[in-house]
Amino acid sequence: MTSDTKMRVNVACAALAGLALRLLLVFQIPMTEAGDSPLYIALAWNWLKRGVYGVLIDGRLTPLDARAPGYPAFLAAIFACAGNSSRAVMLVQALLDVATCFLIALIAARLAPEPARRRVALAGLWLAALCPFTANYTAVVLTETLTLFLTALAILVFLEGNSALAARATIAAGPATSSGRVWLLTGLLAGFAALVRPESPLLLLAAGMVLVAAWWRPADWRKLACAGVLMGVGLVLPLLPWAARNWRTLHDVQFLAPRYVALPGDVVPRGFNAWTNTWLWRFADVYLTQWKLNSEEIRVADISRSAFDSAAERARVAHLLAEYNRTSNLSAEQDAAFGEIARERTARHPLRTYLEIPLLRSLALWFTPRSELLPHSGHLGPLREEWEDDREDFLITWGLFLVNGAYLALGLAGAWIARRRPGWALLIAFLVVRTAFFANFVETPEPRYVLECFPAVIAFAAQLFSGSRQASSTGSG
């Protein structure tokens, strides 16, 4: 058997193994109503069958801008062929995620030195195909699988342009050049990804940081401006129809999706969120506070002791929650009172709010069993109690935690090996920017928020198979 034949067989085996893992999850443990799944399904079905991008509110089909239309459009396309079937969506997502595995393999190859690219690409393909965390999200009607595909594709396209940068190529001639088309296409892909998840333009922020670092001299400012304009134009173009629809239908200028979804008359819980931002960093606490707000009672006994600096402060919170629990609906006055407590806590310990909690959230985002979609607790301790209570759950949870740690350790080691190679800086910048954004500006530290970083993590991990610790070329863009 020739080396090419062995390579093709290995690739086929990796693809089949990846597909088998995803089909196993789809048929054995599908999640049909996780999080926003019912909302996405309703938006897609009403759009497809009634021509209205909205949901029933008080018995009336009401247009909404609560979620951008990228994922509902994806669902509607599947529903048009297979009916309102969550299983059909999951099967398509399984195939799409296998395609993402090939994109990750190409990203890994782009980072590797030329002689090792086939070997590194194959390693990246296997690591991506067998990753249980990305595979898990194919078995749920949520945006992650589609966003992963678009993110990986945008990274790959940018790295193609980055190879031209490493060769001292110029885009000064304008959009007609090959590099100019790359910047425009990168922006377009980020724009389409933003229609699926609104934080997707963070990739362009990372790309901009890389280009600024490479072209900081005045002689390069023309190239920098050209690349920035082209990526910006590419980003905006896919968003224009959505913004026009919102202006025409809702009389609101909205290019993405609103940060806070609220009906007329509802209170946006800015004060409550500011208060939780001074102490909440564990995902488990999200279930007890944020996800109960305006729907269930919130018990002060369930709240971490770190949420209170004194007995008097705990009593104030207990009083506010007692008032809230009478209706399970946060009033403007209650929200303002939570905001005042948040300001006091931040004034006493500003480093806690602006440094310690974001750092802890970053750790929580990355170091987790990632079992939120699985029928397992996700509890890592106390060890003896968890072992005695449910050994199967304990072993699976710890197994997933160790697998996640292994992927991160491999990625860190691979990043060190590839530190002088073109493309390294983009992936590092993307990991840092996305982590910092969700640790600082999003109230709920859900582990899925860094799932879009796994193409970069896996591409780095594959560099361990490059067989060389030397840079393949100059530059680190």
Which pLDDT tens digit goes with each residue over 14-31?
999 999 999 999 999 888
What's the pLDDT at 388?
Answer: 77
The DSSP code sequence of 253-318 is --SS--SS---TTPPP-HHHHHHHTTT---HHHHHHTGGGTTTS---GGGS-GGG-SSHHHHHHHH
Q: Output phi, psi for 129, to 5 deg.
A: -65, -35
User: Taking residues 386-410, what's their average pLDDT?
Assistant: 91
Name residue, tokens 């190679």.
421
What's the pLDDT at 339?
Answer: 96
Peptide bond into 113 cis (omega under 30): no
Q: Output phi, psi for 422, to 5 deg.
A: -60, 135
* pTM exceeding the 0.85 threshold for the entire prediction: yes
What's the pLDDT at 476?
Answer: 41
Name residue, tokens 């008032």.
323
- The strand pairing partners of 63, in sequence order, are 54
pLDDT at 382 over 90: no
Provide, rounded to the nearest whole percent, the portion of the chain with pLDDT above 90.
75
Per DSSP, helices labelled H in 195-220 are: 202-214
Quick check: 209 and 429 in contact, CB under 8 A? yes
Peptide bond into 382 cis (omega under 30): yes
Distance CA 149, CA 235 (A): 17
What's the pLDDT at 171?
Answer: 40
Read off the pLDDT of residues 223-267 as tens digits, 9 standing for 90 and up: 899 999 999 999 999 999 999 999 999 888 889 888 777 666 678
What's the pLDDT at 469?
Answer: 47
pLDDT at 173 over 70: no
User: Taking residues 68-78, what's their average pLDDT?
Assistant: 96
What's the pLDDT at 381?
Answer: 79
Least confident among 93-102, 109-118, 407-416: 109-118
What's the pLDDT at 166?
Answer: 52
What's the pLDDT at 186?
Answer: 94
- pLDDT confidence bin for 372, thresholds 50/70/90: confident
pLDDT at 271 over 60: yes
Of 459, 454, 354, nearest to 117 by C-alpha is: 459
> Which residues 6+ apart lie within 8 Å of 191 measured at CB?
201, 234, 235, 236, 237, 238, 239
What's the pLDDT at 258?
Answer: 81
Distance CA 260, CA 245 (A): 19
pLDDT at 176 over 60: no
What's the pLDDT at 280?
Answer: 96
What's the pLDDT at 385?
Answer: 82
Query: What is the overall mean pLDDT for the chain?
Result: 90
Distance CA 352, CA 359 (A): 9
Distance CA 265, CA 349 (A): 34
User: Taking residues 415-433, what's their average pLDDT?
Assistant: 94
The structure tokens listed for 145 are: 């699988």
pLDDT at 102 over 50: yes
What's the pLDDT at 25?
Answer: 96
Read off the pLDDT of residues 151-172 as tens digits, 9 standing for 90 and up: 999 999 999 876 655 554 444 4
Least confident among 1-5, 244-248, 434-438, 462-466: 1-5
pLDDT at 79 over 90: yes
Q: Which amino acid is at 456?
A: A
